[in-house]
Structure 1
Amino acid sequence: MHTGTASLPLHGGHCPPWLFERMRRLGPAILEIVVREYGPQEVLRRLSDPFWFQAFGCVLGFDWHSSGLTTTLCGALKEGLRGRERDLGFVIAGGKGRVSRQTPTEITAAADRLALTALKPAELVYASRMAAKVDNTALQDGYQLYHHVFIFTFDGQWAVVQQGMNERTRLARRYHWLGEGVADFACEPHAAVCCDARGEVLNMVAGEGGESRRVVTELSRERPHKFMAEFNKILEKGLPNLPLPWRHDIPRASYLNKALLKVYAAQPRDFTDLLGVEGVGPKTIRALAMVAEVAYGAPASFRDPVRYSFSHGGKDGHPYPVDRRVYDRSIAVLEQALAAAKIGRTEKFQALKRLAFISKNAT
């Protein structure tokens, strides 16, 4: 299932090396404890929870409301866990910008390197690509993806943490996915979408948009000239008062016709297949949805799937500056406890569990 998103302001600057190095050590140590207690699948569940993920970043000392928390935390975890995947039972692939486009290669390479013969890399690559397609094309909320991380266990379970940018509002929106609940990429994959404001969206994966998806798919299988005739007729008459301003960025006829030729050749069976056709982006889907609504009476959904939301201090001094001495002590305690547990000495590890229990029940 799609477990949520969070909307965050874009911040300039970068993570100072002294903080990143500590995040690279403390973050994996915390996840190793989760694996020891609950198994690697629990790591996926927690990372796919936008609130837990945000709290995790705050514990590691990053700014609580910065878009950089996503990219820096994922980068620190990936770096810190490199070479330890066999012990922990999960792999982190992808990253920011150009690295995000290497995710399919990294998934396949990890399966080969770790000799995961029971794994089906092609299915994981498909899940990675479809998660990105849905949030970038089917859910048109104004955020362009620039960060994509795919986490998977040795038995094929997976989660996604990806982030998009809206340059106009200077906000970033983070999307979380958890594979164990995904039955259909095209229908209501969101279990929770968390941010501080709603916006105008075209939501082609809304539950109430089933008829729109059906008609859009049927239109995509028609010869392009038939669709273009309807499309141009609508433009000539003028657009009706639709909830979303369709006049914004309507594709040129030449561009749309070229995209539709690709789609027609593919003859997609359903909306998920349509999304997977190479070259099908937000403009193509928006044009198809417009004709489906105006000419065939199959309205699309404009419901933004959002609900409102939102230790060691932060690098920007809020709520207080990071205390490096305390941070280093936290790393040392966890690393020593984990090292002792590996050789059968679990007293310190059990003490940490008791401390967590006492703290939980005291609040």
Structure 2
Amino acid sequence: MMLEGISELPLHQGHVPAWLANIMKRLAKAILEIMVEEFGPDKIVERFSNPLWFQAFNNVIGMDWDSSGSTTVTTGILKEVSWNNPDLGFLVLGGKGRYARQVPEEIPYATELLGINSDTSKLLEKASRIIAKVDSVMLQDNYTLYHHALFVSENGVWAIIQQGMNLKHRMARRYHWFQDTSFYEDPHKAVAGIKHDLVLNLVSRESRKARKTILDLAKENPNTIINEYSSLFNKLKGQREILSYITPSRTGRIKLERINKIIIYEPLPLPKHILEKLRRTYEVQPGNLDDLLLIRGVGPKTIRALALMSDLIYNEPPSTNDPVNTPYDPFKYAYAIGGKDGVPYPVNKKDAEEVIATLEDIIYSAKIGRKEKLLAMKKLSKIKIRFRIVY
């Protein structure tokens, strides 16, 4: 299941009650142990790179059917279960808020516990930093990242799950990555959520030339770029250059009719605010996009300004398409034991305990031997989940 992408969910507040959190941990542990026995830890990490499978797992263990908390709570549950049971062969790092920023600190401990070499550890740290930048800088969709989690197996197979929030629309959007994904060209293969009309999508295939131009501009003398940028900034404010009263246009200067075709994604930052950042990129002379994004201070405003210059000067506009589609509805899995918010119905403790007991019994049997394991998996396939109709 080689599927990475974005999932979009409403922002919810509240917390998971202790009794439900305990059920979720036990049920998650039971399911993961079955998966390790059947597929191995690498496959578990790969599965979580699929946003739809992640949502299904979230719903099965009893979390809300459509909540932003499905990311933070489920990832938190998985992190606790994986660190308390290292024999599963994979670990979850990071999490929400300040925990997201702790991934670089947790990587050495995780790789040592899993027996991963130092070279892979460095690759994990770089991937974590680059992906955080890509989903906030290269894809500017008005969602602010506040959650970042790294999944890694004992063989070094990794996936990253991030989430951003849009307070205006009261929505959260989840981004899933798998290690074989290109960082800069159509990395999101599956997207479930609300499609927005206008985003700055520099990771689209359509933005290939714009990405090259942006990298070239980052190595140009910043004064040249700022002169053009300032001219655009002033024209958009309705100001005119004094020379425009003498001659209709000048070679190398911005023409008004060209500006009218430029798409402005957000209010432009003042030229003086990005000059210093452009000077940093000029000093570094980045050889590729990784180098550019990892320069301290290079964020959404700087890249947005360079994208506008790419469009304006070289007529290489970036894509404005939001990468959204909805292959299927994962919320049907909410009917396994119900959800915290009572949707589609309240969690039934008795039903949940029966599911857990059955899974735990299957796992116990599966550990006895190959024959018993096969019988146990047949039992699992026959489990009947009760559906309720709520009016």
TM-score scaled to structure 1, two decimals? Answer: 0.92
User: Structure 1 residue 340: deviation in Å?
Assistant: 3.5
Pair 198,19 (structure 1): closer, same or farther in 2 beyond 3 Å? same
Q: 2:297 aligns with which of 261, 276, 279?
A: 279
CA distance in 1, matches of 2:353, 2:305: 55
For residue 227 of structure 1, the aligned residue among 215, 225, 228 is: 225
1:62 aligns with 2:63: yes
Q: By how many angstroms is 1:223 displaced?
A: 1.6
Moved more, 294-303 or 338-347: 338-347
Q: Distance in 1 between matches of 2:40 and 2:3?
A: 21
Give yes or no for contact 1:337–1:346 (8 Å, CA) kept in 2: no
Could you list the per-position Cα deviations for residues 124-144 of structure 1 after superposition, in whole angstroms to 9, with x for gaps in the alignment? 111111111111110000101
Displacement after TM superposition at 1:357 (Å): 4.5
Q: Map 1:13-24 onto structure 2 (within 5 A).
A: 13-24=14-25
Q: C-alpha deviations, 1:281-320, integer Å up to 9, x for none?
A: 1111000000110111111111111113541001111111
SS of residue paired to 1:193: strand
> Residue in 2 aligned with 1:354?
378
* CA deviation after TM superposition for structure 1 residue 199, in Å: 3.7
1:245 is aligned to 264
Contact 2:114 2:154 (8 Å CA) reproduced: no
d(CA) in 2 for partners of 1:102 and 1:81?
17
- The runs of 4+ residues in structure 1 deviating greater than 6 Å are none
Would you say 1:80 and 2:81 are equivalent positions?
yes
AA aligned to 1:194 is A
Report what 1:175 is aligned to.
175
CA positional deviation for 1:359 = 7.4
Over 3 Å counting, the alpha-carbon distance change for 1:25 and 1:243 in structure 2 is farther
CA contact (8 A) 1:217 1:271 kept: yes
Note closer, same or farther for the CA distance 1:119–1:22 as it changes in structure 2 (3 Å cut): farther
**C-alpha distance in 2, partners of 1:119/1:36?**
28
Instruction: Describe how 1:1-363 pairs up with structure 2 within 5 A.
Output: 3-85=4-86, 87-117=87-117, 120-179=120-179, 181-182=180-181, 184-238=182-236, 240-242=259-261, 244-246=263-265, 248-308=266-326, 310=329, 311-344=336-369, 347=372, 349-357=373-381
Question: CA 1:279 to 1:296, structure 2 compared with 1: closer, same or farther past 3 Å?
Answer: same
CA deviation string 1:160-195 (max 9, x = no partner) = 11100001111000011111x22x312221212221
Cα separation, partners in 2 of 1:244 and 1:31, compared to 1, 3 Å: farther
Answer whether contact 2:200 2:321 (CA < 8 A) is retained. Answer: yes
Whether the 8 Å CA contact 1:192–1:306 is kept in 2: the answer is yes
Amino acid at match of 1:193: V
139-148 or 128-137, which deviates more = 128-137
Which segments of 5 or more consecutive residues in structure 2 lack a partner in the other structure? 237-255, 330-335, 385-391
Task: Say if 1:244 and 1:65 are closer, same or farther in 2 by CA, change over 3 A.
Answer: farther
**In the aligned structure 2, how far is the partner of 1:359 from the partner of 1:336?**
13
Change (3 A) 1:222 1:17: same
**Further displaced range: 195-204 or 334-343:** 334-343
Matching residue's letter, 2:123: E
In the alignment, residue 36 of structure 1 is paired with which amino acid? E
Check whether the contact 2:366–2:374 (CA below 8 A) recurs between aligned residues: no
Gaps of 5+ in 1: none
Q: Would you say the 8 A contact 1:340–1:346 is kept in 2?
A: no
1:301 and 1:17 map into 2 onto residues whose CA distance is 46
| CA deviation string 1:65-85 (max 9, x = no partner) | 011011000001111222322
State the SS of the aligned residue for 2:142. Answer: coil
Task: After TM superposition, give the deviation of residue 243 of structure 1 in Å.
Answer: 7.0
CA drift at 1:153 = 1.2
SS of residue matched to 2:287: coil
Q: Secondary structure at the match of 2:175?
A: strand
CA displacement at 1:232 relative to structure 2: 0.7
Distance in 2, Cα, partners of 1:117 & 1:291: 43
The structure having more radius of gyration, on CA atoms, is 2
Task: Give the distance between the partners of 1:8 and 1:56, measured in 2 at CA.
Answer: 15
